[in-house]
């Protein structure tokens, strides 16, 4: 009876706090609605128009922009590149991130220093990343080809910046850039796993590998789902490194023109102006639909079983 009385008292207290919570949230909600929700809703309307972005009047064309997209080989190729970055890059990034986080989750020396070094690429400007890896991939005096020559692996030397090799080469760039970010997320989750569970497993004879896969990973499953969700969104809207890769004035290579880069070039052009804002906005809507479909799938896969600890 006492528990029931406490339950109703707590619920009544929470209900009394609701007006105050709403009052404090309203200003932030208004700002978020004005700067984020409203432009997003307007984008759906713009995508149904033929518009150059500079005139007050837009010419309504209905779904013709989307029909043109479905028959646009360049945009279909950009979808393919985006999916390669999403799945191929995701496999590399999370494979390395799991390895590094598992290593750093043990009682290894210089743990904080190693964590800072691993995270460092995530804070570098995208332009600096593009410039750095352009030097690394340079055919004549680049670090990668010269290293392969030094260790006697001449058969692996490639023109890494060529169209046939650039997509794969860019996966390495994205992995180098994002591994530290996701490693820190996973490591933060691993640090929350109770030490008592780990000690109990060691008493039963489990080694570090078994503990990681049988105890730690299942207990951070929801965090893994959140990390993968972030990567899905980041991979679709990845822009800075890809756009800066060839420098100013030169259109990005088709091998690294994903949906975000294609949308920007369609809207503003690169060397030659385009200004097809309505058509480009339709591309943005397609990107949003990709996120709208993929994110619930990830949540469904990784949030079915929840562990309380």
Q: Is 158 part of any domain?
A: yes
Q: Is 5 part of any domain?
A: no
Note the pTM of the prediction, 2 decimals. Answer: 0.85
CA distances from 193 to 211, 229, 309 (A): 11, 21, 8
Q: Higher model confidence: residue 107 or residue 163?
A: 163
Name which of 185, 288, 186, 181 is nearest 233 in CA terms: 288
Q: Is 6 part of any domain?
A: no
Q: Per residue in 248-289, pLDDT tens?
A: 667 788 999 999 999 999 888 776 666 788 999 999 999 999
Out of 72-76, 84-88, 171-175, 244-248, pick the least confident.
Answer: 244-248
Average pLDDT over residues 21-35: 88
For residue 11, the surrounding DSSP H or E stretch is helix 2-32
User: Residue 103 in contact with residue 186, Cβ under 8 Å?
Assistant: no
Average pLDDT over residues 190-211: 81
Q: How far apart are CA 269 and CA 238, in angstroms?
A: 18
Q: How far apart are CA 206 and CA 46, in angstroms?
A: 59
Q: How far apart are CA 264 and CA 269, in angstroms?
A: 7
User: Residue 262 in contact with residue 242, Cβ under 8 Å?
Assistant: no
Count of domains observed in the chain = 1
Say how many C-beta atoms besides its own lie within 10 A of residue 257's C-beta. Answer: 21
Q: Is 35 part of any domain?
A: no
The CATH code of the domain that includes 269 is 1.10.3720.10
pLDDT band at 193 (very low <50, low <70, confident <90, very high): confident
277-302 helix and 38-46 helix, angle to the nearest 10 degrees: 120
pLDDT band at 154 (very low <50, low <70, confident <90, very high): confident
pLDDT over 60 at 309, yes or no: no
Cα dihedral 18, 20, 25, 30 sign = positive
Q: Is 7 part of any domain?
A: no
Q: What is the pLDDT of residue 8?
A: 44
Q: Is 29 part of any domain?
A: no
Average pLDDT over residues 198-205: 81
Structure tokens belonging to residue 268: 């503003």
CB proximity list for 233: less than 8 A, separation 6 or greater: 291, 295
Q: Is 287 part of any domain?
A: yes
Q: Is 65 part of any domain?
A: yes
Average pLDDT over residues 219-243: 92
Q: Per residue in 116-129, pLDDT tens?
A: 888 889 889 998 99
Tokens 């690429």 correspond to 121
Exposed (0-12), middle (13-18) or buried (19+): which is 52, by Cβ within 10 Å?
A: middle
Q: What is the pLDDT of residue 173?
A: 94
Q: How far apart are CA 166 and CA 227, in angstroms?
A: 26
pLDDT over 60 at 10, yes or no: no
Q: Mean pLDDT of all residues in the chain?
A: 85
pLDDT band at 7 (very low <50, low <70, confident <90, very high): very low
CA distances from 10 to 19, 37, 173, 240 (A): 16, 34, 52, 49
Range of the domain at 95: 47-302
């Amino acid at each position: 009876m006492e528990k029931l009385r406490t339950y109703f008292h707590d619920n009544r207290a929470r209900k009394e706090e609701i007006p105050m919570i709403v009052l404090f949230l309203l200003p932030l909600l208004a700002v978020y609605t004005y700067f984020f929700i409203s432009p997003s809703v307007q984008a759906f309307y713009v995508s149904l128009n033929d518009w150059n972005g500079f005139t007050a009047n837009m010419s309504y064309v209905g779904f013709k922009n989307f029909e043109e997209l479905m028959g646009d080989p360049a945009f279909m190729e950009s979808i393919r590149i985006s999916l390669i970055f999403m799945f191929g890059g995701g496999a590399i990034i999370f494979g390395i991130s799991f390895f590094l986080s598992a290593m750093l989750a043990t009682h290894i020396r210089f743990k904080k220093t190693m964590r800072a070094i691993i995270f460092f690429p995530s804070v570098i400007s995208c332009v600096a990343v593009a410039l750095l890896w352009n030097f690394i991939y340079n055919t004549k005096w680049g670090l990668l080809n010269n290293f392969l020559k030094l260790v006697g692996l001449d058969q692996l030397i490639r023109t890494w910046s060529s169209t046939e090799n650039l997509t794969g080469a860019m996966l390495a760039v994205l992995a180098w850039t994002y591994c530290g970010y996701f490693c820190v997320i996973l490591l933060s989750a691993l640090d929350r796993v109770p030490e008592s569970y780990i000690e109990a497993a060691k008493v039963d004879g489990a080694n570090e590998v078994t503990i990681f896969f049988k105890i730690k990973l299942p207990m951070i499953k929801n965090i893994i789902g959140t990390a993968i969700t972030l990567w899905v969104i980041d991979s679709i809207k990845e822009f800075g490194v890809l756009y800066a890769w060839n420098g100013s004035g030169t259109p990005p290579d088709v091998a690294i023109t994903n949906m975000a880069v294609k949308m920007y070039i369609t809207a503003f052009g690169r060397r030659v102006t385009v200004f097809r804002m309505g058509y480009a906005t339709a591309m943005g809507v397609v990107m949003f639909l990709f996120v709208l479909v993929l994110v619930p799938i990830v949540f469904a896969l990784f949030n079915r079983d929840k562990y309380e600890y």
